[in-house]
Structure 1
Amino acid sequence: MARGDGRGATAFYTRAVQLARQMGQVSPDLVEPLQRAVSVIHTQTAAYEAHLQSRLNAAGFNPDQSSARFSLSLDLMAGRKRLFFQEPRFYLFPGLPQIEYADRESLPWLDAVERDASLIRAELQALLAEPELFRPYVESREDRPNGDQAGMLDNPDWSAIFLWKDGVEQSGIAARCPATLKALAAVPLCRIPGRTPSILFSKLSAGARIPPHNGVINTRLICHLPLITPPGCRLRVGNTVREWRDGVAWAFDDTIEHEARNDSDHDRIILIFDVWKDEITPEERGLITAMFGAIDAYAPSQAWGV
C-alpha cells in the first residue's frame, strides 16, 4: 500500500475491526489500536464524503432538488441508509417495482377521495360517540397459533372500526357511512373474496407506536386518508418518513418494512383502504383471485391465517 493511500488504509482498518467484532472479545492490548482504527475510519470516511460532495456540487448536484433516487444511491453507498425490499409474509408476486410510496401521478382517483374528506370525517365523528365500536386491529384467534404480531396482538393502542373487513362488508357500520363508501366507488379496490378489501377507520392512541413490520401480499397498495391528525404523527416506510396531515392522502407498499408513531397527546385517526397495484394486469388479478379461492376451498381459513 502506497504512503498516503487513505482509502487503502481504511479498507485494512475496516477489515480488522470486522474481525474483532466477529471474535466478540479481544485481548486488552488490542483495545487501544482498535479504537484508533475506528477513529481513522471515521476521519477518512468523512474526508472521502466531503470530496465526493464537493465534486458533485460542482457538477450541479443539489440534494434538495436533484434526483431523489441518486441521492438515495449516495446514502446507500456511504452506509447512511439501508436498502429495503418487499418482504410479504404470505404471498410474493415477482417483478414488481420496489417503491415505498406510490407516485401521485399513478393514483388519478386520489384527488376525488381527498375532496370528500370533510364528508368522511363527519361520518367518523358520529361513530366516535360510541368508542366501544373500536376493536384492536390485530385480534387473537382460538383456532390458530397466535404470534406476537410486533406486540400489537389484542393491543387497543392500535384499533379500528371496519366498514369492510377481509373482503366482507360490515353492514351495520357500512350503512352509517354512505358518503365514505361513495367516495371510494371509483377506486380500484383490491377485491379477493374472503381477504380484501378492508376499509376501516384506524386509530393510533396518543403516545402509541406500531413497531416495524411487513404486510402480507405485495400485489396491492395501502391507502391512507388522514382525518384527525395532530402534529407529531408519522409513518416510516423503508427509508422515507412522512407526517400525516388532515385531508392529504397517499398510498404505500406495506410489504416494505414500515412503522407508525403518534408522539402527540391526542389520538390519530385515518381512513385506510387497499387497492390493486397498476402493474398487476387484469389477467393476473383474476389468476391471483382464483388462486386464493383454491386455497380457501382446500382448507378455509380466516383471511391471512394459516
Structure 2
Amino acid sequence: MSEPLPGLVQAAAAAAQQGRWAEAEQLWRRVLAVDPRHPQALYSLGVHAFKRGQLAEAQAMLQAAHAAAPREPAVAISLAMVLREAGDAAGELRAIEASLVADPYFLPALVAKAACLQRLGKLRAAADVYRNALKVVPNESQWPPPLRAQLLEGRALVEKVGREMEAFLAERLGTRAAALSPAEAERWREAGAIMTGQSAPYPSVCSRLQVPRLPAIPFFDRAGFDWVPEVESRTEAIIAEMRAAMTEDATGFRPYIAYEAGVPVNQWQELNHSKRWSSYFLWQHGQPIAEHLARCPETARALEAVDMADIGGLCPNAMFSALAPHTRIPPHHGETNARLVVHLPLVVPDHCLYRVGYERRRWTVGELLIFDDSIEHEARNDSDELRVVLIFDIWNPLLSPAEREMMRALSAASAEFQLQA
C-alpha cells in the first residue's frame, strides 16, 4: 500500500526548510516512488544534486521537473544554472528562454540571459536585456540582494553601450546636424539621448494650472523678446541694489521653502525653512512688496519694461534668489506653463549649473535665461561662494491675448470656488 502523498510532501518540505538535507532527500525519493512525475520532488532533488556538484543527476532531475511543470520559471532557470556549470551555453540559453516564456518579467531569468549574452561577447544584446531587467525593478532599494552585483554591472553596461550608440549616431548624423539651427540641434541631440537611454523625455507637469497642448520647450531664445536689452543693460545697477539690500535689509532675505508643520515636504525636507536658499521678494503671488521695490528703484524700472505674467494669486513674482555654497535645489516642477521664468544672473561663481529637462546651462552675469519651469529643473552651486540671480515671471508667448484672459478667469474662478462653503 503506497504512502499518503500529501504527508510525505509536507514532511520533505519541512525537513528542507530546517536544513535536514539528507532526511529531505530521502523523503523526496519516497514521494517519487509514489508519483514519478511529481514536479516539486524532481525539482528539489535536482537542486540538492546541484549543490553537491553532481551535475549529471541535477540535469536529469531538473529536465524531468521542467517536463512535468513547463510553466514554472524557477524550474527552468535552475536547469539553466546547471547547464551553465556544465559548459552548455546553448542549452543554458534555451532553458532561460523557457523560463521567460513562463514569465517574461521573471527577474532572475532576465539577469541570467543578460549575463549569458555578456559571457558570449554579445554586449549590445546583453545591454538590451539588462535594460529590461532594470525596468522590472527601477528602484535600486528594491533590488534582491542576490542579484544586486549583477544588476550594478548590468546598469554600467547599459550606460556604456548607450554612450557608444550616442557617439555612433552623432557621427552618422553629423553632416545633417550641421544644417540645423542651435535650437533644432539641441532638440535632436535630446532625441538621440532618449533613444540611447541617456535621458528620459521631460514633459510639462504643473502643480497648479496646466495649459494643455503647449509644447514643452526648455529654454526660449532671448532674441524673441524685445525687452531683453533693456533689462540686461541695467545689470550693474541691479547688482548694486541687490548688494545694498543684503547689507542693509538682510532680514528681508527669507527661506524660499517654508512649509508649515504638518504639510508633506517631499523633496524639500533639507531646504525647508533653510536660508541656504533664500529670497528677497519684490513681487510675490501677484502682489508688489512696496518697501522692497522702493529700496530697489532701478530693478523696479527694469521690471516695468517686461511683459510680466499677471495671473491673480499666482503671478507676477520677482525676487533676488540667493543660493548658498555647496547647495542643490532638487529636481522639481513649477506651478503653470502659462508663464515662463526668467533668470538675470547677478553673482555667479564657477561650478554653478542649471538644468531644465535635458538641457544644462551655466549662468553668465547679465545674460538672461528664459525657460519653462513646468519642465523638471534643478540648480546647483558647487562653489565656495554665494550665487545670486534675479528671478521674474513672464507670459508664455505661445498664449494669445484671449488665452491670457482665459487663464486669469480660470485662476479667479478656481480661487472663488475654494472660498465657498
| TM-score of the two chains, using structure 1 as the length reference | 0.82
Q: Deviations over 1:111-132 (max 9, x none)?
A: 2100011111111121111322
Q: Deviations over 1:234-265 (max 9, x none)?
A: 11111111111211111111111111111111
What displacement does 1:194 show? Answer: 2.3
In structure 2, the residue corresponding to 1:184 is in which secondary structure? helix
What displacement does 1:141 show? Answer: 3.5
* Aligned position for 2:107: none
Q: Deviations over 1:31-62 (max 9, x none)?
A: 98x999889978876776665454434x4555
What displacement does 1:191 show? Answer: 0.8
Q: In the alignment, does 2:224 pair up with 1:106?
A: yes
In structure 2, the residue corresponding to 1:299 is in which secondary structure? helix
What displacement does 1:139 show? Answer: 1.5
Instruction: Decide which structure has greater strand share.
Output: 1
Q: In the alignment, does 2:220 pair up with 1:220?
A: no
Structure with the bigger RCO (C-alpha within 8 Å, sep 6+) is 1
Choose from 261, 264, 277 the match for 2:380. 261
Letter in 1 for 2:128: T
Letter in 1 for 2:366: G
* Structure 1 CA distance for aligned equivalents of residues 282 and 153 of structure 2: 60
Choose from 128, 132, 136 the match for 1:14. 128
Tell me whether 78-87 or 16-25 shows the greater mean CA deviation: 16-25
* Cα distance, 1:296–1:38 mapped onto 2, change above 3 Å: closer
* Aligned position for 2:173: 56
* Cα distance, 1:21–1:85 mapped onto 2, change above 3 Å: closer
* Structure 1 CA distance for aligned equivalents of residues 199 and 134 of structure 2: 24
Choose from 196, 203, 222 the match for 2:315. 196
* Aligned position for 1:3: none
What displacement does 1:18 show? Answer: 2.8
Structure 1 runs not aligned, ≥5 long: 1-5, 302-306
For residues 119-158 of structure 1, what are the structure 2 equivalents within 5 Å? 119-129=237-247, 130-141=249-260, 145-148=263-266, 150-151=268-269, 152-158=271-277
* Structure 2 CA distance for aligned equivalents of residues 272 and 42 of structure 1: 36
Question: Are 1:206 and 1:264, in contact at CA under 8 Å, matched by a contact in 2?
Answer: yes
Q: In the alignment, does 2:191 pair up with 1:73?
A: yes
Q: Number of aligned pairs? A: 290
* Aligned position for 1:118: 236
* Cα distance, 1:170–1:97 mapped onto 2, change above 3 Å: same
* Aligned position for 1:240: 359
Instruction: Decide which structure has greater helix share.
Output: 2
Aligned Cα root-mean-square deviation (Å): 3.4
* Cα distance, 1:192–1:13 mapped onto 2, change above 3 Å: closer
Identity of aligned residues (%): 32
Q: Of the two, which has the highest radius of gyration?
A: 2
* Structure 1 CA distance for aligned equivalents of residues 321 and 315 of structure 2: 16
Which contiguous aligned blocks of 4+ residues in structure 1 show a shift greater than 6 angstroms? 34-47, 63-66
* Structure 1 CA distance for aligned equivalents of residues 205 and 353 of structure 2: 22
